[in-house]
Structure formats: C-alpha cells, structure tokens
Amino acid sequence: MWYYLIWVDNMKIAQAIKMMNYLASVKKASREELANLLETNVRNITEYRKELINAGYDIGYLRGIGGGYFLDGDNILPNPRLKESEKKALLEASSYLNARYDFLNKNEFNVALGKVLNSSYVNKDIDSPMIIDRFPLVMKDDEIKYRYDMISKALFNKNKIRISYLSTKNRISEHILHPYKIYMYNLAWYVLAFNETINDVGYFKLNRIKEIELLNEKYYISKTFNEADYLDQYGMKNNGEYIPVSIEVSSPYAALVKERIYGKNQQIISVDANTTILKCEMQNLASIVSFILGFGSKAKVLEPQEVKDAVKKELEIMLSINEE
C-alpha cells in the first residue's frame, strides 16, 4: 500500500510540473484546458495548483468568461542540470558583461543568472578570470583556444602551469606561472600571472606560448596583489600615466566614435554632421598611436604635441619602409 501512495504522490508532482511548464508558455489557461492537456479532471487541476502554491509558486486565478489560471509574477521552475562546462560558459559570459562599462543592466543580468544557475544568492560582483576590453571575443586559432582552455582550467582550479614562452627577441624560456586573469587587449589574448621564475607579476601573450603544461601543484593569490595596479576597465596599465588626447574624426568614423567609450573622462563634441571631436584620457603612447592610425586619413590629432609627434614619427617610418 505504501508504494502505491508514493507512486500517486510522484504522479501528482509530475502533473504539477507539466502544468507549471504549460502556464509558463502561455498567458492563461482554463481549468478545463489544463485538464484536457494533462488527461485528468478539473478537481485534480485544483489540487495541482494548491501543490504549486505550497511549493512557493504564485498561480493566479481569474474568474469569469475567458478566465483561468496564470503565473503571477516571475515564477520559473528550476532549470535542468547544467554541465560544469555550461556553468563555466555562463560565468565567463557574466565576466564579459560585468567588465563592460557600457553594459547598463548588470544587476538585472546577475539576478537572471542566479535564477538560471538555480542559485540562492545574487552575486553582484562575480569574481571572474576574464576581463574584456572594447574589442569583441574572437578566437579563430585552435592553438590559442587550447592555451586559453588550459589556462582557464588552471585558473578555476588554482593549478600552476609550466610554459615555454617566445620573447619579442625570439628567445624561448620556461616559466612556472600562477594565472590571475585572462583578458583580451587590442585583439590579442593575454594572461596576467605571478611568475615564479622571476618572483613577480607580468603579462604573457597567448600566441607566444609555445608549450603549456598543467601542473598538480596548487597556488594561492597573494593578499598584497592589487589588480588595479595592472589592469583597469580600459585594458592593460603599461606605463601608469594617463594621457589626455583630443582627436578630430571625420566621416565615416565621425558617427561611430560616438557609440563607444575609449578612455577615462570621455567627451564627444559634434562639430557638424561629418566631424566629431573625441576627448579622453588613454594609456600607453604606442597603443594611442595605433588607435589613431586605425582611422587612417580620417583622424587628426589636436592635442597633445607628444601624441602628434609620435603619430608623425610612425607615419615617417611606415613611409620609409614602403619606399624601399
């Protein structure tokens, strides 16, 4: 007799879940409609509603012609089980959006993410291994993807990694790293890590990593580590100081520069339909020059003189190379 009662209870739960799923997909359903759908009677539909209400779901009821049951509020059933890789993907998406200074719905997104992950808390400041700057997520190279996955795994599990790294001087050296962050800057992937070899924190470009090995040794992030010393919302801090820049941009880029944030204290001045002045504070003179040259002949540096001279020098070098 007891196993029959358990079977009845399980059937009731299963039917209630089916009813909940159906109500989630439609605005409203009559008891008769629900009874036909679940192949039961109206009395049982009333019982299923009571079960769902007891479980914490608000099932509203509208009387009269055209009435019926409906979901009252933002009730949703817990999601199906997610694989660890799927949870990780959601957290990485969260890190991307939370790191963006132009994403205006961070709190709402994190609330929704908490529901999707069936979490009892809402984390407004998810500690994530990834920071993305103004450029999109792109990973076409399979080798880069492999390195990224290995470093990401090491970061999540706090495992050290051993790498063979090709320097800008074409010298290969080995390093034991404690990964701190993975991020993209100027269309290239980097890992910010503590380097046991030199006992210091530094950047490593993923496409310069020739070999990578995940070690069994664990590591801990030092309490003295301050991410702000190395990274900010605009990317890498290469030389510490911010440079106030003023650039006059012509069509077709005049409208495009209004759509993004390129640095601190940004100001956009519309001169006319075809001309926009971009003012902001940016880091790293070489990166600033590269950014300006990306506009080609449609950008004119108004100030400072330091940036004007650097752009001019770079153009002279480019010209001399192409004249050879």
pLDDT at 129: 47
In a domain, 79, yes or no: no
Q: Higher model confidence: residue 127 or residue 149?
A: 149
pLDDT confidence of 159, banded at 50, 70, 90?
A: very high
> Looking at residues 107-124, what average pLDDT do you find?
55
pLDDT at 113: 67
- The residues facing 191 across adjacent strands are 182, 204
Residue 190 is part of a domain; what is its CATH number?
A: 2.30.30
pLDDT confidence of 312, banded at 50, 70, 90?
A: very high
pLDDT of 241 > 90? The answer is: no
With a CB cutoff of 8 Å and minimum separation 6, the contacts of 247 are 277, 278, 279, 292, 295, 299, 300, 301, 302
pLDDT at 118: 46
pLDDT at 149: 85
* pLDDT per position as a tens digit, 175-216: 999 999 887 766 578 888 999 988 888 888 888 899 999 999
Domain that holds residue 298: 238-323
In a domain, 181, yes or no: yes
118 & 160 share domain:
no
Tokens (6 digits) for 100: 């963006």
244 & 222 share domain:
no
* pLDDT per position as a tens digit, 38-97: 888 888 888 888 888 777 777 888 887 778 888 765 555 554 566 666 766 776 676 666
254 & 226 share domain:
no
Task: Check: CB of residue 58 under 8 Å from CB of residue 92.
Answer: no
pLDDT confidence of 247, banded at 50, 70, 90?
A: very high
Query: Mean of the per-residue pLDDT values for the chain?
Result: 76
With a CB cutoff of 8 Å and minimum separation 6, the contacts of 306 are 243, 285
pLDDT at 248: 95
- In the chain, how many domains are there? 4
Cα–Cα distance measured from residue 147 to residue 98, given in angstroms and rounded to the nearest whole number: 24
243 & 218 share domain:
no
pLDDT at 140: 46
- Find how far residue 301's CA is from the centre of its chain: 33
Residue 318 is part of a domain; what is its CATH number?
A: 3.30.70
In the block, residue with structure tokens 């809402």? 122
In a domain, 77, yes or no: no
Cα–Cα distance measured from residue 236 to residue 229, given in angstroms and rounded to the nearest whole number: 9
pLDDT confidence of 301, banded at 50, 70, 90?
A: very high
- Write down the pTM of the prediction: 0.44
256 & 208 share domain:
no
Tokens (6 digits) for 16: 């209630």
Tokens (6 digits) for 131: 């920071």
Q: Are strands 188-195 and 172-185 parallel, antiparallel or unpaired?
A: antiparallel
Cα–Cα distance measured from residue 121 to residue 258, given in angstroms and rounded to the nearest whole number: 37
Percent pLDDT > 70 in the chain is 71
Cα–Cα distance measured from residue 225 to residue 194, given in angstroms and rounded to the nearest whole number: 10
